[in-house]
Amino acid sequence: MGAVNDTGVCRGLAVEHRGSVVAVEDGVLWMVKDVPRASSGSVVHGGFEPSDYLTERKWAVSIDGTRVPISILYKKNLVKFDGFNPLFMYGYGSYGISIVPGFEAWAFTLVDRGFIYAIAHIRGGEEMGIKWYEDGELLKKRNTFIDFIACAEYLIENKYGSKEKLCINGGVGNGGLLIGDVLNMCPDLFKAAVLDYPFVDVVTSLLDPTISSTTSEWEELGDPRKEEYYHYIKSYSPVDNVSICIDFGKLIRNSSRQSTLCSRSKHAEASCLCEEFHLCSISLCVGRP
């Protein structure tokens, strides 16, 4: 795992964890072989060689002048920095959760096919300290979205990818809020998006205290029963800001009938929204996150 800081390169994305296969013989524990493992614990197969890959730490500048760190991973012999490589960018930016770069085997299924994989360490997480989190919550939540857009624009400007080959993902719940919002703000900036259990009807959800997560979300996003928060949240809530003239490209939306993060009615609502605005949406119904 690597830390987000001003100096050095984060190598955690390309350095695997190690595990051991052991055997017991005559009461003695012997190590049979050393096995590379991903951060999740899954075994890394296929003769993985860390020296085939490069990791970088770059900094985008958000609209208010804030420098936002980006962690980048790619395979050396597959990237030319001409804008033609497909680019997969991930971000989250909520609850003070730090997305610390770590070795994940699934990412290599992309980079081994020529993708560049990037993590945008946007405000709302805590990668840069508690203020980084506070500057991305409540009445400063829009900083999360503008940081993500700034990171995408930086990567495109510096030929890590292009608008035509950029896919974005934000993880579960509020990560879907992130993706829904940036699609509304800059629909032409992204070619495809993956929304996992997306939290997209923010105002309506936060006005319903019967939803199990509502009161805890008031601490993160604010209580829309108060006028100041109502207008601010409505200004970015994805469902309240969709335009019929926008072509969102390709969307993949993962959902679950058993999800405790978003109710069944919200999944149905998201599906209807996609149909109403003629969005190309693939809905994958899976288990709880």
Domains recognised in the chain with CATH numbers: 51-285 (3.40.50.1820)
Structure tokens at 43: 């075994």
Instruction: State if pTM tops 0.85.
Output: no
Q: What is the pLDDT of residues 122-171, one digit of tens each?
A: 999 999 999 999 999 999 999 999 999 999 999 999 999 999 999 999 98
Distance of CA 205 to the CA centre of its chain: 22
Question: Do the beta carbons of residue 51 and residue 28 sit within 8 Å?
Answer: no
Q: How many CB atoms lie within 10 A of CB 79?
A: 19
pLDDT value at residue 54: 94
First to last CA, the chain: 23
Buried b (16+ CB within 10 A) or exposed e, 121-151: bbbbbbbbeeebbebbbbeebbbbbbbbbbb
Using one digit for the tens of pLDDT, what is the confidence trace for 82-115?
999 999 999 999 999 999 888 888 899 999 999 9
Q: Along the 289 residues of the chain, how does pLDDT read in single tens digits?
A: 334 554 333 456 766 555 444 445 554 544 444 555 555 555 566 677 888 999 999 999 999 999 999 999 999 999 999 999 999 999 999 999 999 888 888 899 999 999 999 999 999 999 999 999 999 999 999 999 999 999 999 999 999 999 999 999 998 889 989 999 999 999 899 998 888 778 888 999 999 999 888 999 999 999 999 999 999 999 999 989 886 555 655 666 555 444 444 455 555 555 555 554 444 444 444 433 3
CA–CA separation, 262 and 223 (whole Å): 18
Which residue's structure tokens are 């400007």? 157
Burial class (CB in 10 A: 0-12, 13-18, 19+), 198: buried
Query: CA 123 to CA 213: how far, in whole Å?
Result: 22
> What single-letter DSSP state applies at residue 83?
S
Q: Where are the alpha helices (DSSP H) in 18-117?
A: 105-111
Task: Say how far apart CA 158 and CA 27 lie, in whole Å.
Answer: 58
